[in-house]
Structure 1
Amino acid sequence: MITKRTLIWPLLGAVALAQSAALFDMVYARDRLLKTGREITLAVRPLDPRDIFRGDYVTLGYDISTLKKSSTETDPDFNGVSPGSVAYVTLKGAPGGDWTVTHVGSRYPSEVASDEVVLKGRVKYVWNAGNDPEMTIQVRYGIENYFVPEGTGRALEDKVRSHKIEAVVAVAADGTAALKGLIVDGERHEDPPLL
């Protein structure tokens, strides 16, 4: 006779297996992005030194994070953008390695040139929303925090404040980005978390 007690163990096993598979998939997807994504470097500026729950880190700001409608080409339907909306930001590479924003939209562009890359982000803030040419949005790409071994965040932050720093970013074909590491005065630091 099958009782509730007999069914609970197989159900618990199935739930544990599903959770393990989901975690493995997240780690595998992140690892694949870091290994196979197109690598670009972005100039950064540090913002904050420590997160008590995850150890030392440096919070990074990017010029490509704050976009003004008057200086950026946008899709016509992008006027209704609101916090939490997805934004696809097209960057064009310059010969010196700098990347500048050329377009922002709510959908992945139909054509992307070989010297361009598209980053998928989420709108964090919107100022002067609507059709106002002074509309400004702030976008987060998921590459804003760089975690380092505990006890080394302050030293890296001091280096970042007084030296040239660039972020090494891996970008997938769908625009998903992951921070691979930092280049501080030509010295590459790579300590990316798996998630």
Structure 2
Amino acid sequence: MKTKYVFIAFAVTALLQAFAPLKMVYDNEMTVSHGTVYKFKTEPIDPSDPFRGKYVSLNFEENILRVKDTVWQSNEQVYALLSINAAGFAKITAITKTRPQTGNDYIVVKTNYYFDGSLHINLPFDRFYMEEGKAQEAEDSYRDYSRQENTKPAYALVAVKEGNVVVTDVIVDGQPIRNYVLRKREE
């Protein structure tokens, strides 16, 4: 009889452990397939994480906001409402401490610090992982690209759905960064 309960407890535990990563994958897939894609202007650099691999670190223009409210705590979870500006890039239109109603595109962000009417925030997506051999080339190519006059802006394509975000690609010179690196190899 005890063996039966141990087996049931084991089966329930195994199902719960399988459910968590499957739910995360499902949420990300739903965000990519049904979410709104925003273009966030960025400047990539290439650090390395020995546990997670090579990635392009992303810094964004949309991480400093002018706000009227002066009561902000560091590392506070808040919600940033999104829209698209005239140039087609993502713009944070408002910051709120309460979760927006369904129908509004928003992302969950953390406050960094407030100073002189500006709220500095940390966006939840700051890395784009790449194949090991291309990450350093991506950094080098982007550095050369950014030094040129009259270049198109680099940006990250970020799918957003109900606060969930997924970086789907980084665009440099109007093309995915992988293709840009391959083109640079051929030159």
Length-normalised TM-score, structure 1: 0.75
Task: Supply the RMSD in Å over aligned alpha carbons.
Answer: 2.5
Aligned residues: 171
Which runs of 5 or more residues in structure 2 are unaligned? 146-152, 179-187
Q: Which amino acid aligns with 1:165?
A: A
> 3-state SS of the aligned residue for 2:163?
coil
Partner of 1:126: 113
Q: Aligned equivalents of 1:90 and 1:7: distance in 2?
A: 49
Residues 100-111 of structure 1 aligned to structure 2 (within 5 Å): 100-109=91-100
Residues 111 and 20 of structure 1: CA distance in aligned 2, closer, same or farther (over 3 Å): closer
Which runs of 5 or more residues in structure 1 are unaligned? 129-133, 191-195
1:155 CA displacement: 0.7
Residues 186 and 110 of structure 1: CA distance in aligned 2, closer, same or farther (over 3 Å): same
Contact 1:169 1:181 in 2 (8 A): yes
Residues 154 and 84 of structure 1: CA distance in aligned 2, closer, same or farther (over 3 Å): same
Is 1:84 aligned to residue 71 of structure 2? no
1:47 CA displacement: 4.2
1:13 CA displacement: 1.6
Contact 1:159 1:184 in 2 (8 A): no
Per-residue CA deviations over 1:43-94 (Å, capped at 9, x if unaligned) read 101244211111110110101112343xxxx5x5xx4432332222234423
Is 1:167 aligned to residue 169 of structure 2? no
Partner of 1:182: 170
Partner of 2:124: 142
Q: Aligned equivalents of 2:27 and 2:13: distance in 1?
A: 21
Partner of 2:148: none
Q: Identity of counterpart residues, as a percentage?
A: 22
Residues 100 and 25 of structure 1: CA distance in aligned 2, closer, same or farther (over 3 Å): closer
Q: Which amino acid aligns with 1:64?
A: E
Q: Aligned equivalents of 2:17 and 2:102: distance in 1?
A: 37
Q: Aligned equivalents of 2:77 and 2:8: distance in 1?
A: 39
Contact 1:41 1:168 in 2 (8 A): yes
Q: Aligned equivalents of 1:49 and 1:20: distance in 2?
A: 32
Residues 48 and 152 of structure 1: CA distance in aligned 2, closer, same or farther (over 3 Å): closer
Moved over 6 A (4+): none
1:39 CA displacement: 0.9
Partner of 2:61: 63
Residues 43-62 of structure 1 aligned to structure 2 (within 5 Å): 43-62=41-60
Length-normalised TM-score, structure 2: 0.78
